[in-house]
């Protein structure tokens, strides 16, 4: 199962010529390999680009991306990872959302389709990444 990150969905939604080819191809390949999901956090981040909730839900449905609830274990692990980050001197500019998405993928055993690998590689190294710079 693959969790698709917000940045990939925004690339597809905005039809950004610099990125639309890679995200579209990777989303299609992920769908061929199995279910593709996104989290409530990703959904909230995407909502800024849509007039109505039903429009966002319909768009995700057309992409065959399902909304998956975040398990409590992932919520707890995200908080612990964020606390460790802050204790090690991490800045407040790093959002808790990144930790929530990483912990969700880690707990559920999902690969993550993303362009932003930094947080995943640092705080959730067991998560398999599908990114422009990875095979």
Residue 37 domain flag: yes
The verdict on residue 63 lying in a domain is yes
How many structural domains are present in the chain? 1
Picking from 31, 3, 25, 2, the residue whose alpha carbon sits closest to that of residue 12 is 25
Instruction: Write out pLDDT tens, residues 19-62.
Output: 768 999 999 999 999 999 999 999 999 999 999 999 999 999 99
Residue 135 lies in a domain: no
**For residue 82, is it within any domain?**
yes
> What is the spatial distance between Cα 74 and Cα 78, in angstroms, rounded to a whole number?
6
Burial grade of 77 (CB within 10 A; 0-12, 13-18, 19 or more)? buried
pLDDT tens digits, 72-97: 999 999 999 988 888 888 776 657 88
134 to each of 33, 87, 130, 131, how far by Cα in Å?
17, 30, 6, 5
The pLDDT, as a whole number, for residue 133 is 77
Q: What is the reported pTM? A: 0.88
* Domain residue limits at 89: 2-130
Q: What is the CATH number of the domain that holds 97?
A: 3.40.50.1010
C-alpha span between 135 and 131 (Å, rounded): 8
pLDDT at 53: 96
Question: How many Å apart are CA 54 and CA 12, to the nearest integer?
Answer: 18
């Amino acid at each position: 199962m693959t969790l698709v990150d917000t940045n990939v969905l925004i690339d597809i939604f905005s039809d950004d010529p610099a990125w639309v080819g890679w995200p579209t191809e990777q989303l299609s390949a992920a769908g061929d390999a199995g279910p593709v999901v996104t989290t409530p956090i990703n959904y909230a981040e995407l909502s800024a680009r849509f007039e109505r909730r039903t429009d966002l839900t319909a768009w995700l449905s057309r992409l065959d991306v399902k909304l998956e609830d975040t398990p409590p274990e992932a919520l707890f692990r995200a908080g612990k990872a964020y606390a460790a980050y802050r204790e090690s001197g991490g800045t407040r500019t790093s959002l808790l959302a990144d930790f929530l998405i990483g912990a969700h993928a880690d707990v559920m055993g999902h690969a993550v389709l993303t362009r932003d690998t930094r947080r995943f590689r640092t705080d959730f190294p067991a998560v398999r990444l599908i990114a422009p710079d990875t095979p």
